[in-house]
Amino acid sequence: MPSEPITTTGEVLHIYSERAYQVSLPNGKKVIAHPAKKMLERKDEIVPGAKVALEMTPFDFEKARIADIL
């Protein structure tokens, strides 16, 4: 049974490509994040400084999925 994703917030620091962003977590850790499929049409709103809601797996704390723009 898959475990529930960890949800948190972050701030976009850098855009690597349309599908990869560097995001800073509240504890200062930086992760690589990609937008969820439902966020692809809003990718123009994901800019440096934007606050985003993130989902992370408990197995890999280096990557995250951008679930929403706050």
For 14-64, the pLDDT digits (tens) are 999 989 999 999 999 999 999 999 998 998 999 999 999 999 998 899 999
Task: Note whether residue 57 is domain-resident.
Answer: yes
Task: Note whether residue 1 is domain-resident.
Answer: no
Q: Is the dihedral of CA 31, 35, 39, 43 positive or negative?
A: positive
Q: Which two tokens stand for residue 45?
A: 């709103």
Distances (CA, A) of 7 to 16, 17, 51, 60: 22, 23, 14, 13
- Domain extent for 64: 6-69
pLDDT at 40: 87
CATH number at residue 61: 2.40.50.140
pLDDT at 2 over 90: no
Task: Note whether residue 40 is domain-resident.
Answer: yes
pLDDT at 1 over 70: no
Q: How far apart are CA 1 and CA 60, in angstroms?
A: 17
Among 34, 37, 21, 31, residue whose Cα is nearest residue 60: 31
Number of domains composing the chain = 1
Task: Note whether residue 35 is domain-resident.
Answer: yes
